Amino acid sequence: MLIYDIFDIPEISCIEPVFADLTDDYYSDELLSIPTEEARLLIDENEFPIALALREKKSWLAGSFVCRTPSRAVISKFEEAGGDIFQEDASVYLDALREYFSLKLMSEIPQTNEDTRPERKGMVASLIRDIWGSLDGAECIDCCCGSGVISEAIRTCGGTPCGYDNDANLIALGLHSKRLYPHQVMHIDASRAKDYVAPVRYGVGCMLGDIAPFNANMWENIVSELLALSDETIITTATEPEIKQVKEWCLTEGRTCETIENDRDPIYDRWVCISSV
């Protein structure tokens, strides 16, 4: 569902330039500065405000509060302008925002060259099935999703992927190739994933690395976020030293942990860390 359908408006833009800006209070202040002739407030299933749409002349602009808290001034802006209250589940609106920003990214960011082998999806799907069996429709985080081959594998296993990555060009490739679905991917910093993603049962981070002393802190933060967001987690690396480092981070977080060598793929996902709470 597109955001203009939710607001019952033919066309609407978001005041935040990119999805990652949904956490920034700056855009709440920007919303308050807009001369307004009409307003529409969106509340979630718990009657909590999650978005405010404002009309100036013929143009509608929305600010969203699924990843930040609206101020009292935002509510006052709606009350002063007058208008209607709409209601939608927060998860539905979040899907609509992902779709909006993914389509915007596709129109603005060039896709990179193909970065994966066609057979990798089957290899990863086989690994996931051996560890978890069928995902039975459950949501599964795809950390550092790249161009979407792991999201495809998650769907093959019956899951619903929620992907994120900091590489806009790879995400554009995944969207154009249809490995990534617009409502299931976010262009964000993976070391801040908790600001945008709710915890779920399953999480996958495939081919993390290259993990080296100079960037280990970054990867530790990314792994820590993934572990915080998933009760059961699969992480793969190309080398044994990298997976040993990942195992240390999992144990530090108080997780159970097992590492195995994966003979399906001797390149990308050779070493596997299986962790749970």
Instruction: Report domain extents, the chain.
Output: 3-108, 120-276
Q: In the sheet that 38-43 helps form, which strands lie side by side, from edge to edge?
A: 13-14, 59-64, 49-56, 38-43, 83-87
Query: How much is the CA Rg of the chain, to the nearest whole Å?
Result: 20
Tens-place pLDDT, residues 118-139: 899 999 999 999 999 999 999 9
Exposed (0-12), middle (13-18) or buried (19+): which is 136, by Cβ within 10 Å?
exposed
Query: Using CA atoms in the order 223, 226, 228, 230, what is the torsion angle rounded to 10 degrees?
Result: -140
Tokens representing residue 61 in the block: 């602009």
Paired residues of 275 in beta bridges: 233, 257
Is the pLDDT confidence value at 157 over 90? yes
When pLDDT is averaged across residues 20-27 and rounded to a whole number, the result is 98
Q: How many residues does this entry show for the chain?
A: 277
Confidence of residue 187 (pLDDT cuts 50, 70, 90): very high
Tokens representing residue 263 in the block: 């003979």
CATH superfamily of 120-276: Vaccinia Virus protein VP39 (3.40.50.150)
Tokens representing residue 82 in the block: 């007058």
Q: What's the pLDDT score for residue 209?
A: 83
Tens-place pLDDT, residues 99-118: 999 999 999 999 999 888 88
User: Quick one: which of 187, 136, 189, 180 has its CA closest to 161?
Assistant: 180
Q: What's the pLDDT score for residue 216?
A: 97
Contact 158, 137 (CB under 8 A): yes
| % pLDDT > 90, the chain | 95
Amino acid at 230: S
CA angle 258, 262, 268 (to 5 degrees): 110
* Helix (H) / strand (E) containing 235: strand 230-237
Among 37-51, 92-106, 109-123, 164-178, name the one with the lowest average pLDDT: 109-123
